[in-house]
Each structure stands twice: as structure tokens, then as C-alpha cells.
A and B are shown apart, each in its own frame.
Chain A
Amino acid sequence: MHDALLAGSQFSGQINFLSPLINGIANGAAYGLLGLGLVLLYKSNRIFNFAQGEFATVGAIVTYVFYAGTGVLPKLPFFLAAVLGLLGSVGIALLTERLVIRPMFNRAKVILVVGTVGVALLLIGVEGLLPYPKTQSLPTISDVLKVQPFIGRIDNVPVLDQDIAKLAMLVVLAVGAFVFFRYTHTGTAILAVSQDATAARVVGISVERISLISWGIAGLLGGVAGILLAVPPTGSVTPGAFTGTTLTVSFAAAVLGGMTSLPGAFVGGLSLGLIEAFASADAEFVPGLNHVHSGQAELAVFLVLLLVLLVRPRGLLGQEA
């Protein structure tokens, strides 16, 4: 439904900073949403979870099959389907913890990371083998609420309701997770385990339970991200939808924000979205750079990642590890 409304606004011919600004924030919100789960697991387990993108995809797919009533499944209202989708993501995350992470608790971190890579590959494969319409996407927030799609315009640049929803959800989740770690018992227990598992066990924290909880929350964050991102015009419920480029950039965003800082995921996500958008913007006003190449945005991402890691490894908001 957005496509028709968008058509008029593209290629207006004028160069502006506004278009990359708004696109950048919209993409950045996506990176931030995925980045939140990455930061959470780095904070709690000190590992990079390469399966985070697949937690998101699983949530989106489960939501879709119940919302559309694929095959023998009942056709459910969107919010019920979304709850099932989130349960699916959390379930997959808990299974990952129990079957892959727990048996390797005392092994080198890099082997755990290879294990999450295996989980990601496995999930992509299984999703691909399941029979469901793979090119569909989830409804946008205005479709769900059955209202006229809201498209604000700032200087003729469209602002989508879905992007506003993403951004709002990102803020809510980042603040919520920050509060969770700062002010709740479970949150501080997770931090204690990540700092010293043995000492945490001595003071009576169940390390196994904490690990399960943190993976469950990561799955929940992934599911929320998936349901918000698998919408038109660009998102879909394809297998591996969020694992290729999106996850890679989200990692870079999380590193930029500081791998240990939840607000950092928010800041890093938005910054990287903006950097990417401006790097790939039609830069006619830069002398000698009138040809836009598709790799520009990714090159910018790589350079930012290298720069951060070499100059300021703890990122923008991260604490000294």
C-alpha cells in the first residue's frame, strides 16, 4: 500500500540532506533492534551470537504463518499471531541455550561462536525446507490497526508510520533493557555471572538459570525485531532474511555503540544507519563523485568498524571491559 504513495516522491531531482537523514534513521532503527539482542548476549555471556538474525526470522515466520493461516494452521488475529511468533523466537533461543551453549559452557568462547554460526545455518536450512510462502511479508502497523497509512512528509520526503514504530520500539526496548540491568535483581545477577561465574555461584546465583534467562530475553528481542522489520517495502519472511547483510551491519553498529552498552546499541544503530545512508546518497555535490556504487555504504561500514576497533575499542558508550 505504501508503494503507490511513495512513487510520487522519488527522484524529485533536488539534492537534499533530508532524504538520507530519514532513510538512515529508519535503517538505523532496524540495526539497533537487532543490535540490542547482540549487546545483551555479549553483556551476559561474552559471545557474539550469530544466530540473532535467525531468532528474528523465526519470529517473523511464525507470526506470518498464523496471521495468514498457512496450510492447516488457524488464521489468527495479528496480535495473537505476534504473541505466538515471539514465543517461537524465545523457544528457539532457549533450545539453542540448552542444546548448544550449555554443553559447551567451559569451552573457548570462539567455539561457542562457531556453535551459534551452526545454529544460524541450521535455522536457515530448516526454514527453507518448510512449506510456506517465502516471499510474503508481514502487515505494517497501519494495516494491522486498519487505519489509513500515515505518511508524513518533511519537505516532500516521506516518513513512514512503520519507521516511527520501529524507532519508538527501539527506544522503549533500549530503555527497558537498561532499566532491567540497572534496577532489577535478575538483571544485576546476569551481570554478576558475566563478570565472574564462579563468584556468582558462590553467592547463590544459579548460573544455568541466568544463562537460560538471558538467552530467552535475547530471543524475545530478536522476535520483536523480526516482526517489526519483515514488512513492505523491503522486508519479507524469506529464510535467512536478517542474517546476511542486516546482521553484519548490526554487529558493526553494536561495536560502534559499545558492545557492552544497551543505549549504545541504540546510538550505534542510528549512527551507522546515518553513515550508511549518507555514504550511499547521491553525492552530486561532492566534486568528482557523481557515480554511485552499491558497495559504498558497506565500505563505510567496514571503515567505521575498523576505526572504532583500532582507536576506541570500547565504542561510543561502552565501559572499559
Chain B
Amino acid sequence: MAAGTQILAPVAGEHRVGRTYLWVRFVAAAPLVALVLLLPLHSDVYGHVSAYAAIFVMVGLSMNVLTGYTGQISLGHQAFVGLGALTAANVVSTGVRPADGFSFAIGMVCAAAASGAAALLLGAVALRIRGLYLALVTLVFGSVFADAVFTLPSLNGQDAGVPAYRPSFMATEYRFYLFALAMALICAYVDVCVRRTKVGRGLVALRDNELVASAFGVNVLGYKLLGFTISGAMAGLAGGVFAFWEQAFSDKDFTAIAGFNLALTFVVVAVVGGLGNRGGVIAASVFFALVSPLSPFLEWFARQTHWATYYGNNKFYISNVIGAVLLLQTVILNPGGLGQVIRPFARWFGGHKFNLHDSDGGGVGTMEGSSVRA
């Protein structure tokens, strides 16, 4: 045997467990998958809430790409979601009822494209602005865009809103949920791709140190714009699904104080989930979808304890308080967010050893809050 072709023994330390143990993971994952697929089957209400959670996951992933990987913060994301909803509802609502599948698909594509284009335009102007001022610009952009465009009478269908009829093959809530879940999976796949490819490494390098990254040949403005556009398109797609979830587009969901609350909720999701941590953001999205004022989950909970009337009168404020308390406790005490808590489990499912004190936690994928430069 020639000395040059000697096969080295595997390096000891962190490595994926052998294939023989993978079935344990599959068995452990089965209840989780069953929960995701079967629980929404329970009733129309469950299906409705689950679809809403899937939409929130899409927005959460959109924030994850922007804030987590690119390190830019957006306080105006409701504008992109709303633009997607507006576009999809207007494209598909041609009077055909139920909508035919083809125009429905076109509507979804248009929703993503419109929001992506809007994000690209905003980024082209706003990314020249640095520091905290960018956060301010996105905040003002969000409220201005919503109030100026969504209130145009020719676009928002006046008081009645723009009707968004679902195609016949997703007439039931469960079928619509499966569609929303598929869209969320697409977003998750895009998120994975962004993170794993050259683009993702470029973005993370930019986030960590712009000067060093540009010295290594990373196109600073181009990559930032790309991050902005991908995030906007994902938010637009989420908006498109949202319009059909609600079966109408109403500007009141995105303007004034409702829009402001929505935009801040998205930031809360990204921060509480853990910046740049996909699993954490998904978990946080689901949680905040369940406690959002639109979801009947808390209402059901309140009914069991005779607080139903109180909850009904105060649902917006209760959601606010829950979100704010979690946000504050995350930024002050637990900067890693939910992602850090579930990270050992997520890694275990990914085929790694179970390790509560994750020595690999400081890898490229994780970030401190300090990496966000706004």
C-alpha cells in the first residue's frame, strides 16, 4: 500500500451519528409531523388557525433573512405583506367565483414579485442611509406606503374590500392549510438556500463586518439589495396567502395603528425567535400566530376560565402585552432567543449528538444581537 493513499481515521469530536440511529430520529419526529398534519384536521377552526400560523412562519422567515442574515432591521414589513395581499386579491379577483387555479397561481407569483420589487426600490434608496436611521426610514416607509397606496379607492375595493375567492380545490380549511404549509415550506427552503450558498456566506460576512467583507470581494450593495428583495418577496407571498386566508383584502388590516402593531409583531417574532436562527424563528412565528388577536386560540382558552368577555374586549392589548414581555425578556436576559433553547433538539434531529451545552454554538450560523447594525 502506497504511503500517499493512506486513509486517515475520522477526526474525533463532533460528528454526525451513524445511519443506524437515524430511525430513532424518525420515530421521534413522527408525533411532531403528525401534529402538524393531523391537528388542523380536527375542525375548521383548527385548520383556520393553523393556516394563519403557516402565514406567520412565512413572514417570520422573511424577517429572518433580512434581520438575521443581512443584519438590517425593518420596522415596516407590514407594507410588503399588505402589498402582496393587495396584488394577489386584485389579480385573482376577476369576478370568477371560485377562482380558477391558473389565475390563482399567477396571483401568488405577482404578489411575491410586486413586494420583491417594492423592497428592491426601497433598498436602492434606503440602503445608502446608515445606522439607526435605516430603521427609522423603514418605519416611516411602512406606515406611509400602507396609508398612501392601500387606501386608494380603485385598489382596495372601498369599504367592502377586494374579495379573494379560493379556487375550488382548496375549498375546505384543511386543504387551504396544506397549501399555506406548502408555501411556508418553500420559504423555508429558500431560507436554507440563502444560508447555505455563496450568497448566504456573503450576507453573513457583510453582517459581521462590512469592511472586511468588501475587502474580500463581496459586493456590498448588491448583496444587501438581494437580501432585501428576497425578504420582500417572501413577505409578499405571505401576504398573497393571507388575502385568501381572509378571503378578502381589507386595507384596515395594514394601515394606522393595526399596521404599526403588525410591523412591530414581526420584529418581535424575529428577535424572540433568535436572530438568524431558523428553527427558533419558526417556533416563535407559530407561537405569536396563536396568541395574535386574529386567532381564536386564546379566546377558547379564556372560555374555559370564564374570562371570555374580558378577553373579547381586550384581545389586542393582551397580545401586545404577551409580545412585549417576551421581547423585553429576550433582549435583556436571553439574547439567543427561543432558537437557543431549542437548538440542542434541532441539532439532534439533524443527526448530531444531543448536547445541551452546545460547544459548537458559536459557529457561523449563530449571531449575537450586536451583529445587527440596523
List B contacts of A128 (CB < 8 A).
Answer: 314, 316-317, 320
Candidates A47, A103, A305; contact of B140 at CB < 8 Å: A305
| Residue contact A122 to B147, C-beta cutoff 8 Å | no
Confirm or deny: B137 has a beta carbon within 8 angstroms of a beta carbon on chain A: yes
List A contacts of B369 (CB < 8 A).
Answer: 107-108, 111
Confirm or deny: B184 has a beta carbon within 8 angstroms of a beta carbon on chain A: no
Stretch at the interface among A23-31, A143-151, A243-251: A243-251
- Chain B's nearest CB lies how many Å from the CB of A268? 13
| Residue contact B327 to A295, C-beta cutoff 8 Å | no
Within 8 A of B (CB), among A269-321: 293-296, 298-299, 301-302, 305-306, 309-310, 313
| Residue contact B143 to A248, C-beta cutoff 8 Å | yes
Candidates B141, B152, B318, B335; contact of A302 at CB < 8 Å: B141
**Assembly CA distance A99 to B328 (angstroms):** 10
List B contacts of A108 (CB < 8 A).
Answer: 369-373
List A contacts of B373 (CB < 8 A).
Answer: 108, 110
Confirm or deny: A119 has a beta carbon within 8 angstroms of a beta carbon on chain B: yes
Q: Beyond A104-B331, A129-B318, A244-B256, is A255–B136 a contact (Cβ under 8 Å)? A: yes
Confirm or deny: A165 has a beta carbon within 8 angstroms of a beta carbon on chain B: no
Confirm or deny: A141 has a beta carbon within 8 angstroms of a beta carbon on chain B: no
**Assembly CA distance A142 to B370 (angstroms):** 50
Within 8 A of A (CB), among B143-161: 143-144, 147-149, 151-152
| Residue contact A121 to B327, C-beta cutoff 8 Å | yes
Q: Beyond A110-B374, A295-B148, A309-B137, is A104–B332 a contact (Cβ under 8 Å)? A: yes
Interface string of A76-109 (1 = CB under 8 A from B): 0000000000000000000000011001100111
Confirm or deny: A263 has a beta carbon within 8 angstroms of a beta carbon on chain B: no
Q: Beyond A107-B369, A109-B132, A244-B257, is A306–B125 a contact (Cβ under 8 Å)? A: yes
List A contacts of B371 (CB < 8 A).
Answer: 108
Candidates B131, B143, B152, B332; contact of A100 at CB < 8 Å: B332
Stretch at the interface among B197-205, B233-241, B264-272: B264-272
| Residue contact B321 to A129, C-beta cutoff 8 Å | yes
Q: Beyond A293-B151, A293-B152, is A245–B143 a contact (Cβ under 8 Å)? A: yes
| Residue contact A296 to B148, C-beta cutoff 8 Å | yes
| Residue contact B140 to A301, C-beta cutoff 8 Å | yes
Report, as a range, how many residues of chain B touch the other chain.
35 or more
List B contacts of A299 (CB < 8 A).
Answer: 144, 148
Q: Beyond A251-B139, A306-B137, is A295–B267 a contact (Cβ under 8 Å)? A: no
**Assembly CA distance A244 to B262 (angstroms):** 12
| Residue contact B370 to A122, C-beta cutoff 8 Å | no
| Residue contact A117 to B267, C-beta cutoff 8 Å | yes
Confirm or deny: B24 has a beta carbon within 8 angstroms of a beta carbon on chain A: no
- Chain B's nearest CB lies how many Å from the CB of A40? 16
**Assembly CA distance A311 to B147 (angstroms):** 25
**Assembly CA distance A124 to B151 (angstroms):** 25
Q: Beyond A244-B256, A255-B133, is A114–B139 a contact (Cβ under 8 Å)? A: no
Candidates A240, A251, A298; contact of B144 at CB < 8 Å: A298
- Chain A's nearest CB lies how many Å from the CB of B2? 55
Within 8 A of B (CB), among A119-134: 119-122, 124-129
Confirm or deny: B42 has a beta carbon within 8 angstroms of a beta carbon on chain A: no
- Chain A's nearest CB lies how many Å from the CB of B275? 10
- Chain B's nearest CB lies how many Å from the CB of A303? 9
List B contacts of A306 (CB < 8 A).
Answer: 125-126, 137
**Assembly CA distance A99 to B325 (angstroms):** 12
List A contacts of B133 (CB < 8 A).
Answer: 255, 309, 313
- Chain A's nearest CB lies how many Å from the CB of B205? 18
**Assembly CA distance A129 to B311 (angstroms):** 10
Confirm or deny: B188 has a beta carbon within 8 angstroms of a beta carbon on chain A: no
Minimal Cβ-Cβ distance residue in B for A243: B260
Confirm or deny: A118 has a beta carbon within 8 angstroms of a beta carbon on chain B: yes
List B contacts of A245 (CB < 8 A).
Answer: 143, 256
List A contacts of B143 (CB < 8 A).
Answer: 244-245, 248, 298
List B contacts of A266 (CB < 8 A).
Answer: none
Interface string of B305-336 (1 = CB under 8 A from A): 00000000010111111011101100111010
Confirm or deny: A113 has a beta carbon within 8 angstroms of a beta carbon on chain B: yes
List B contacts of A122 (CB < 8 A).
Answer: 320-321, 324-325, 328
| Residue contact B136 to A117, C-beta cutoff 8 Å | no
Within 8 A of A (CB), among B38-83: 73, 75
List B contacts of A114 (CB < 8 A).
Answer: 73, 267, 271, 327, 331
| Residue contact A295 to B147, C-beta cutoff 8 Å | yes
Interface string of B348-374 (1 = CB under 8 A from A): 000000000000000000000111111
- Chain A's nearest CB lies how many Å from the CB of B274? 13
**Assembly CA distance A114 to B328 (angstroms):** 9
| Residue contact B151 to A294, C-beta cutoff 8 Å | yes
**Assembly CA distance A248 to B374 (angstroms):** 17
Confirm or deny: B128 has a beta carbon within 8 angstroms of a beta carbon on chain A: yes
List A contacts of B171 (CB < 8 A).
Answer: none
Confirm or deny: B129 has a beta carbon within 8 angstroms of a beta carbon on chain A: yes
Of the candidates A47, A121, A244, the one having the most CB atoms from chain B within 10 angstroms of its own CB is A121
Sample (15) of A-B pairs whose CB atoms are under 8 Å apart = A104-B332, A110-B132, A110-B372, A118-B331, A121-B261, A121-B268, A128-B320, A245-B256, A252-B140, A295-B149, A299-B144, A305-B140, A306-B126, A309-B133, A310-B128
Which residues of B pack against A, CB within 8 Å?
A: 73, 75, 125-126, 128-129, 131-133, 135-137, 139-141, 143-144, 147-149, 151-152, 256-257, 260-261, 264, 267-268, 271, 314, 316-321, 323-325, 327-328, 331-333, 335, 369-374
List 18 additional A-B contacts (Cβ < 8 Å) besides A114-B73, A128-B320, A295-B147: A48-B132, A99-B332, A108-B372, A110-B73, A113-B132, A114-B271, A114-B331, A115-B327, A118-B324, A119-B324, A129-B321, A255-B136, A298-B144, A302-B140, A302-B141, A302-B144, A309-B133, A313-B133
Q: Which 4 A-B pairs have the closest CB atoms?
A: A295-B148, A128-B317, A125-B320, A122-B324
